[in-house]
Chains A and B, each alone.
Chain A
Amino acid sequence: MNSYENPLRDSQDRRLPRIAGPCVLVIFGVTGDLSRKKLMPAVYDLANRGLLPPGFGLVGFARRDWADQDFAKVVHDAVKEHARTPFREEVWEQLLEGIRFVSGTFDSDESFERLKKTIVELDTTRATGGNHAFYLSIPPSGFETVMSQLAKHGLVERQPETWNRVVIEKPFGHDLASARELNAVVERLFKPQEVFRIDHYLGKETVQNLLALRFANQMFEPIWNNHYVSHVEITMAEDIGIGGRAGYFDGIGAARDVMQNHLLQLLALTAMEEPTSFEASQLRAEKKKVLAAAHVPTPYDRHTARGQYSAGWQGGEPVIGYLEEDGVPADSGTETYAAIRVDIDNRRWAGVPFYLRTAKRMPRRVTEVALAFKRAPHLPFTATDTEELGTNALVMRIQPDEGVTLRFGAKVPGTQMEIREVSMDFAYGGSFTESSPEAYERLILDVLLGEPPLFPRQEEVELSWQILDPVLEYWASQPGNPEQYLAGTWGPESSFEMVARDGNTWRRP
């Protein structure tokens, strides 16, 4: 049976997409923002692109007292408002036949019995084949209950020829110990290859773009090391504040929220050696190696910085400070700006500091990885000729407007010899307008196809916490709260001092 080769498939035939097998997607926490704005539209977009199987069920589980059609209405509206591809009635009808809603709470046995009944019903009427994916769009505190309920009601029993998979979202714990606990809960029921961790900031598309840039080209790799690179800046800045998410954000902070998963993943992808192939296992092996070689240098007061935004003007609008936000205690010590220096102890990167920073209420929303190069060892010009010349830089812009910028010196036209920086720019949006699928679309498809995810496994999560934990402990041990910075500026004074100590400056993204 396993040796079956589909005669209609041919590796040359790249027009034919892989369509997921029949299955049910169960979403816990389906009434949340994320589910409405991202998950449901992503499911529709997949259906519209013909990538969902004819036998597909979507089950929502939440506390609301809804019937199937109420839920269908919510999905319908969410899809119409947020889907990437145009709305088409026939696609919607195909989807609608498999939409169910189960009203209940996580601790109610009766709700989970009903959930089981619903899934079994779909398995028979829609022939979803006993394949189930559980998407936990809920706070980690609910994991334990949901997992034990799934086990108790026999929802994840292994049958031959069927699969069960689970999707969990960041944060994966709040330190090493809690990450391990969380993992123990999940892995009691699911094998490592059945667990899909999503970091929605870092879509598979972005990862693959980075890999293509580094490893499909001849001209970048030779200079991708400490002979040429002076330092690397990895930035994720948001222009928004915490909005209504005080309950989630306060006590967590920018470092746990973004640095542990997103920025350290970007660091790993930027700094790792070439994998022997692009199989997920090979890629993970290289990422693990580089994360294991990374650490934040001591003393931490010199190589890290944290801050909190205060009231100010952001992009032409007056905004309040973090401590005035709804639900934030007036003496909160949670950082909204975090910057650390990471050193990587290997031959390629020894001596090259990697600066990671993330913050809220920055002047603009931007995520990028910038490699700053050393100055040319000798400049055959007079000092005044090159006064305006900075250093070369290669910037991989991740969002918005994904692309690559190369900065280099050029002569200013005229009779005088004057050299100044110019940029060469490439934008994915300009050269390929086939709009990139959303991170969630790729992820859901990977889950349904059982493609080994490019997303981190537990080892990587633990390695990231090992890098970050000492810094978090140091910050917590400090008297006094993070330094305030004006909303709409590029961060606190200490962050500029931190890089200045190494003779560097942050570039303005």
Chain B
Amino acid sequence: MIVELKNTTSRAISAALVDAHRGVGSASGLVLTLVIVTGESRFSEVLEAAKASATAHPSRVIVATFDDGSESGLDATVEVGEGLPGDLIVLRLHGDLRHHGDSVCLPLLLPDSPTIVWWPHESPENLATDPIGSLADRRITDAAGCGDPVEALLRRARHHTPGDTDLAWTRLTRWRSLLAAALDQTRTQVTDAVVSAAPDNAPALLLIAWLKARLGVPVTYLPGDLPGVNSVVLSTTEGDISVRRFAEGRALYQVPGQPERTVALRRRPLTDLLTEELGRMDADDVFESAAAQVVTDAGER
């Protein structure tokens, strides 16, 4: 990397040096290995997301793709620097090698640091026993990237092992924090809850399950017109607490005894979601209990 500074000062040169070091990255500063398992079809989209996430967490990113060619073989591209704070390795596994992806990835993991595997689209039935999944401390899936999101979430929940999370859960963080803050304020007893969402919405299923598990009250689902979760109403002894998204990025927030207010509530981009996921390496117990509830709910239907 060459940085040219014209008409500059020592201070600007020092700053450019620090930036340049950061841009090139050295393996010692990297905190985790992110393995992304994806198909050839949406490869470029995933690669972009991977690069964006690498700017948030300096990591070694390994993208593994498979094709069904008859002959077994391995192609790879290695990218270091070029504005990336970490390393980027793109692997193409041909033929039989697809069943032995772990043997390719294992030697490439950073020493000691945690390994995270992300399936942006379809994922194996049981993550923890999948060859590549078994290398990971954390496994991230995205029900929304699958053909049938609800089915994908259910599959996830049924085979949950500690360390698994789904981005459907991450999409709910802002909703959940608004609701928790509303109860912090009103300090009332919730008697009943209603969640309105687009039909077959995986995050909504999780949100309903979470509210049920936490509040121990019946939670009703209503179909809504907007994409994603539309609104949540918690009936309390003092009146209704409600958060209603009325346009992209905006929601009305109402708690008993206070005027209605607009709050920012946007659908978060993939990079945001991934950044939040990579921020924690321990198992998410709250997700686990919500996922268990999803399975119970599905049994009742």
**A interface residues (Cβ-Cβ under 8 A, vs B):** 1, 4, 6-10, 12-17, 19, 21-22, 47-48, 50, 53-55, 88-91, 93-94, 97, 125-127, 239, 314-317, 363-365, 400-401, 426-427, 429-434
Closest to B25 in A: A430
A316 and B12 alpha carbons, distance in the complex (Å):
11
A400 touches B279 (CB 8 A): no
A315 and B259 alpha carbons, distance in the complex (Å):
56
Tell whether A431 pairs with B18 under 8 Å between CB atoms, given A16-B173, A16-B180, A54-B261: no
A54 and B181 alpha carbons, distance in the complex (Å):
10
B177 at the interface (CB under 8 A from A): yes
Tell whether A315 pairs with B56 under 8 Å between CB atoms, given A15-B276, A127-B259: no
Closest to A430 in B: B29
B27 to chain A, nearest CB (A): 11
Contacting residues, chain B, for A48 (C-beta < 8 A): 264
- Number of contacting residues on B, CB 8 A? 57
B183 touches A426 (CB 8 A): no
A89 and B215 alpha carbons, distance in the complex (Å):
34
Contacting residues, chain A, for B22 (C-beta < 8 A): 427, 429-430, 433
B184 touches A19 (CB 8 A): yes
A17 touches B258 (CB 8 A): no
| Other contacts beyond A53-B181, A88-B264: 16, CB < 8 A | A6-B187, A7-B216, A8-B211, A10-B286, A12-B286, A14-B280, A19-B184, A48-B264, A88-B249, A89-B249, A93-B264, A127-B261, A429-B18, A431-B29, A432-B58, A434-B279
B173 touches A315 (CB 8 A): no
Write the B145-170 contact mask toward A (1 if CB under 8 angstroms, else 0). 00000000000000000000000001
Q: List 17 A-B contacts (CB under 8 A).
A: A6-B180, A7-B216, A12-B284, A14-B280, A15-B173, A15-B280, A54-B262, A89-B249, A90-B250, A93-B262, A315-B10, A430-B22, A430-B29, A431-B31, A432-B31, A432-B58, A433-B22
B21 touches A13 (CB 8 A): no
Which of B29, B177, B257 interacts with A50 by CB under 8 Å? B177
Contacting residues, chain B, for A91 (C-beta < 8 A): 264
A97 and B85 alpha carbons, distance in the complex (Å):
39
A426 touches B215 (CB 8 A): no
B187 touches A1 (CB 8 A): yes
Contacting residues, chain A, for B8 (C-beta < 8 A): 316
Write the B205-216 contact mask toward A (1 if CB under 8 angstroms, else 0). 000000100111
Contacting residues, chain A, for B276 (C-beta < 8 A): 15
Which of A93, A426, A434 interacts with B275 by CB under 8 Å? A434
Tell whether A433 pairs with B286 under 8 Å between CB atoms, given A8-B214, A21-B184, A315-B10: no
B58 touches A433 (CB 8 A): yes
Most interface-central of A15, A401, A427 (chain B CB within 10 A): A15
A90 and B265 alpha carbons, distance in the complex (Å):
8
B286 touches A13 (CB 8 A): yes
A12 and B285 alpha carbons, distance in the complex (Å):
7
A277 and B275 alpha carbons, distance in the complex (Å):
30
**B interface residues (Cβ-Cβ under 8 A, vs A):** 8-11, 14-15, 18, 21-22, 25-26, 28-31, 55-58, 85, 170, 173-174, 176-181, 183-185, 187, 190, 211, 214-216, 249-250, 253, 257-259, 261-266, 275-276, 279-280, 284-286
B29 touches A427 (CB 8 A): yes
B25 touches A55 (CB 8 A): no
B58 touches A431 (CB 8 A): yes
Tell whether A433 pairs with B11 under 8 Å between CB atoms, given A8-B214, A90-B249: no
Contacting residues, chain B, for A400 (C-beta < 8 A): 14-15, 18
Closest to A13 in B: B286
A445 to chain B, nearest CB (A): 13
A125 touches B259 (CB 8 A): yes
Contacting residues, chain A, for B181 (C-beta < 8 A): 19, 53
Contacting residues, chain B, for A12 (C-beta < 8 A): 284-286
Which 8 A-B pairs rank lowest in CB-CB distance, beginning with the nearest?
Answer: A315-B10, A430-B29, A127-B258, A19-B181, A90-B249, A4-B187, A8-B180, A90-B264
B196 to chain A, nearest CB (A): 18
Which of B14, B173, B214 interacts with A7 by CB under 8 Å? B214
B262 touches A97 (CB 8 A): yes
B253 touches A54 (CB 8 A): yes
Which of A19, A54, A125, A433 interacts with B56 by CB under 8 Å? A433
Closest to B243 in A: A54
Contacting residues, chain B, for A88 (C-beta < 8 A): 249, 264, 266
Which of A21, A97, A433 interacts with B185 by CB under 8 Å? A21
B250 to chain A, nearest CB (A): 5
Contacting residues, chain B, for A239 (C-beta < 8 A): 10-11
Most interface-central of A50, A364, A400, A433 (chain B CB within 10 A): A433
Contacting residues, chain B, for A22 (C-beta < 8 A): 185, 258
Which of B21, B266, B280 interacts with A430 by CB under 8 Å? B21
A364 touches B173 (CB 8 A): no
